[in-house]
């Protein structure tokens, strides 16, 4: 019922939001009679803010057209490589007519970025992708809005998430010989499970895993997000936050955790900060500070665009990760596509480098939650493990913005390069220590020898 009420309210507000946008343009246009009125700029700013508070935010696009590679503009073609019922494997293919640049691109590492399925779209990692494209072949998991997935496609469970990740890894291994995996926030847990299961079966595992700001062990330094999950029972979540998709969407009847509830939770964590941000936007419009106003629009166009999550996946994640801590307790069994239950054993991983990244000021994944992966992956030798704590960085700062680009990315890039087969590396892995010395916190040194020495298959192309 709540979902239907929300959609009814949104539909009723939509024409008023559109009207406010029109009024804002009339009052801001100097050629309009309304634009000549006293306080026209202030009135225009008020209508603009009203429009943005009432509008419906659709899924943004990545919008990556070019990337600078050592001073050369390289064209980007975005395409869907694999289309699954609940996710698309999206590739950002790079093109260049400059032959030296083209040769350099061909030899760069392949990275699968596993984006969060926790309320926002994968476009939240736009800055992550754009930065990585300078030195890597990049793929990303683009999760679909569950309200757009027909009931005929079946349910989506946490097990399915793990199986999707394994399928994508195998696809890149088949195409290139092997790949590296980067997980940001929520997917650190299912990605570690996916690689663990591959290792337990004797399959080839990725060359490296980079895990950033995720709840590997959510019992460490619990945050407000963790506390909510532990203070409420599984039944409470099922009865209070799970609703059926209304009839006006393709996924009508599907049980979901609605995106608007997740967004309400995001805002409720820092209401004063959001109110202040909107007021600053109003003042920037009055002052004519278009640069600051546009920065506000870009942020909230992304922040306010949310998706629904399938109920089974959401409830199982709450139970597995935040209530029973099955990964760290060694009690997590995952059902494979053939219907067989397999125990997740991170200690079976031996041929994959492990880099964990945490933000000093992260209020979503607390200190030590991601670093806990090192205690679980006992089969990985210490020289192939590393931990980085980004000073002054919050949750979003470790994968987006200045701190990501200047503090975190150089370490991630160097770690991946150090675990890339020598024949495919664009520069010798010996350059690694100079970059690693810039890391804020390194619990274990990164290897100094090329990954080819570990008998990994060479990159195909």
SS (H, E, C) 381-403: CHHHEEEEEECCCCCHHHCCCHH
| Last residue of one domain, picked from the residues 276, 303, 330 | 303
The answer, yes or no, to whether residue 432 has pLDDT greater than 90, is no
Q: State whether 111 and 219 are in the same domain.
A: yes
User: Model confidence over 178-230: pLDDT tens digits?
Assistant: 999 999 999 999 999 999 999 999 999 999 999 999 999 999 988 877 888 88
| Last residue of one domain, picked from the residues 303, 331, 359 | 303
CA–CA distance, 1 with 404 (Å, rounded to integer)? 41
User: Model confidence over 154-186: pLDDT tens digits?
Assistant: 999 999 999 999 999 999 999 999 999 999 999
Nearest Cα to 230, choosing from 319, 333, 316, 313?
319
CA–CA distance, 401 with 406 (Å, rounded to integer)? 9
Q: Is residue 108 part of a domain?
A: yes
Which of 274-290 are b and which e, b meaning 16 or more Cβ less than 10 Å from the residue's Cβ? Answer: eeeeeeebbebbbeeee
Torsion-angle region of 149 (φ positive above 0: left; ψ -120 to 50: alpha; else: beta): beta
Distances (CA, A) of 414 to 32, 293, 332: 56, 36, 33
Helices 158-176 and 188-201 pack at an angle, to 10 degrees, of: 60
Residue 291, H or E segment: helix 290-303
Range of the domain at 374: 66-234+309-454
User: Model confidence over 390-422: pLDDT tens digits?
Assistant: 999 999 999 999 999 999 999 999 999 999 997
pTM for this one? 0.87
Strand order in the sheet with 309-310: 243-244, 255-257, 309-310
Domain of 422: which CATH number? 3.40.50.1820
Confirm if 358 and 184 have CB atoms less than 8 A apart.
no
Q: State whether 380 and 431 are in the same domain.
A: yes
Q: State whether 76 and 191 are in the same domain.
A: yes
């Amino acid at each position: 019922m709540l979902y239907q009420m929300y959609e009814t309210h949104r539909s009723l507000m939509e024409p008023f939001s559109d009207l406010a946008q029109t009024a804002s343009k009339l009052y801001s246009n100097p050629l309009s009679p309304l634009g000549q009125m006293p306080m026209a700029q202030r009135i225009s700013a008020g209508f603009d803010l009203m429009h943005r508070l009432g509008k419906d935010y659709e899924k943004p696009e990545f919008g990556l057209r070019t990337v600078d590679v050592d001073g050369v503009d390289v064209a980007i073609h975005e395409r869907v490589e694999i289309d699954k019922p609940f996710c698309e494997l999206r590739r950002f293919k790079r093109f260049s007519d400059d032959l030296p640049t083209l040769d350099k691109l061909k030899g760069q590492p392949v990275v699968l970025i596993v984006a969060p399925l926790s309320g926002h779209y994968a476009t939240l990692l736009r800055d992550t992708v754009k930065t990585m494209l300078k030195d890597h072949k990049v793929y990303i998991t683009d999760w679909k809005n569950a309200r757009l997935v027909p009931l005929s496609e079946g349910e989506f469970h946490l097990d399915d998430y793990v199986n999707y990740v394994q399928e994508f890894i195998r696809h890149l291994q088949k195409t290139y010989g092997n790949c590296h995996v980067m997980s940001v926030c929520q997917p650190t847990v299912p990605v570690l499970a996916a690689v663990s299961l591959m290792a337990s079966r004797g399959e080839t595992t990725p060359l490296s895993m980079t895990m950033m700001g995720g709840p590997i062990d959510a019992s460490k330094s619990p945050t407000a997000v963790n506390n909510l999950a532990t203070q409420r029972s599984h039944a409470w979540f099922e009865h209070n936050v799970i609703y059926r998709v209304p009839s006006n969407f393709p996924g009508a009847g599907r049980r979901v955790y609605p995106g608007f509830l997740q967004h309400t939770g995001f805002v409720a964590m820092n209401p004063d900060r959001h109110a202040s941000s909107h007021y600053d936007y109003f003042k920037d419009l009055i002052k004519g500070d278009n640069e600051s106003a546009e920065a506000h629009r870009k942020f909230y166009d992304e922040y306010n665009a949310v998706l629904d999550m399938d109920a089974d996946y959401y409830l199982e994640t709450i139970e597995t990760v935040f209530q029973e801590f099955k990964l760290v307790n060694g009690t997590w069994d995952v059902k494979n596509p053939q219907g067989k239950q397999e125990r997740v054993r991170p200690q079976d991983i031996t041929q994959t480098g492990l880099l964990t990244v945490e933000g000093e000021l992260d209020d979503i994944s607390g200190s030590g939650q991601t670093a806990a992966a090192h205690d679980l992956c006992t089969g990985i030798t210490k020289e192939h493990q590393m931990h980085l704590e980004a000073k002054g960085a919050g949750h979003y700062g470790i994968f987006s913005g200045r701190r990501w680009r200047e503090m975190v990315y150089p370490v991630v890039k160097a770690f991946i390069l150090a675990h890339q087969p020598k024949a495919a590396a664009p520069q010798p892995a010996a350059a690694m220590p100079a970059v690693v010395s810039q890391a804020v916190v390194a619990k274990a040194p990164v290897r100094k020898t090329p990954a080819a020495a570990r008998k990994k298959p060479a990159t195909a192309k």
